[in-house]
Amino acid sequence: MKLNIALLAGDGIGPEVIDQAVKVSDAIAKKFNHEINWKPALTGAAAIDAVGEPYPDETHEICVASDAVLFGAIGHPRFDNDPSAKVRPEQGLLKMRKKLGLFANVRPTFTFPSLLDKSPLKRERIEGTDLVFLRELTGGIYFGEKGRRDEGETAFDNCVYTRAEVQRLAKKGFELAMTRGKKLCCVDKANVLETSRLWRETVQAMEKDYPEVEVAYEFVDAVAMRLVQWPNSYDVLITENLFGDILTDEASVISGSMGLMPSASLGSDIGLFEPIHGSYPQATGLNIANPMATVLSAAMMFENFGLHEEGQVIRNTVNIALGKGIVTEDLADGGKAYGTKEVGDWLAANI
């Protein structure tokens, strides 16, 4: 297969972890006789510095002309610490999701046998955890009307959803559940929010089309508690933008490190694949960042092309590396810590 992949390294540790995912992907391409044409492009703070825009038109054109996007991370403290900044790296991410039609964020949470004791939760609580969140990405409070009134003394952010937005996300959730444990949980706050009541009634109306799927409806605060009590009781969870943003970060630490979890953002055409962690600017250039999440995001990318064996080879190699202690400092636990580049080299060589 010949693949054109847009490569958006972004900020902070983004370029470092992306480099390792490229190494691994190139090793897979060589092993399985694929050809990858990497197409680098600017985004985030790096793009603001270069052209004054966090998601330039040129970057969008490269993404649209590609088969998929492999993405690093964006963000920089100088924007985080300046509430008055008019242009921010995160605006580029929201713009990219909207313009590419990436409405479904797929975030798996699973455990690694060799790392069960690295989790902040007890082994018996997390063993067997294998769940997937589908977070709606292009609606809700992040995209609703926002502003100030009363001379800046009052701020507002409107949360708006259409039935069609809920239906297309829920459809992906039902379809994913059919390929897994056939359990779907709709996460909302229907006892308080009108948008949540729309979510709940829309999903309820879709149940008849998927009679094999067992559907549950839970409030977001209850799910937040259950994720740290019985995470292995969940299979597929669907939810709106803000709730999904918070819950998926909570779920990410179950595995032992945010540096381990991959994600995909999907729409009707192109897919974007990225680690769930941020740009971690304090570690930039120190060769200490964990590249595993980005590498596993590349595995998700191959699987999205139907190349399941290629994705499984990456997953198996990551598992072997973790079992052998080929890890960065966040997982070394006082033992030998490998550098970002060394982990990437090891993975590529063993593939």
Catalytically active residues, by annotation: 142, 189, 221, 245, 249
The one-character DSSP state at 271 is E
**Placement of tokens 């502003």 in the chain:** 147
Give the up-direction half-sphere exposure of residue 229: CA atoms within 13 A in the CB hemisphere.
6
Amino acid at 209: D
Residue 297 CA: distances (Å) to CA of 75, 82, 289, 303, 348: 19, 31, 15, 10, 15
Is residue 49 classed as helix, strand or coil in its secondary structure? Answer: helix
Is residue 70 classed as helix, strand or coil in its secondary structure? Answer: strand
Instruction: Quote the tokens at residue 31.
Output: 């092993």
What's the CA gap between 1 and 6, in Å, rounded? Answer: 16
Strands 236-239, 183-188: pairing is: parallel
**Placement of tokens 């890890």 in the chain:** 327
Is residue 21 classed as helix, strand or coil in its secondary structure? Answer: helix
Instruction: Quote the tokens at residue 303.
Output: 């699987």
The one-character DSSP state at 211 is T
Residue 12 CA: distances (Å) to CA of 5, 94, 264, 282: 21, 19, 20, 8
What's the CA gap between 300 and 71, in Å, rounded? Answer: 12
Give the up-direction half-sphere exposure of residue 38: CA atoms within 13 A in the CB hemisphere.
15
Rg, C-alpha atoms of the chain: 20
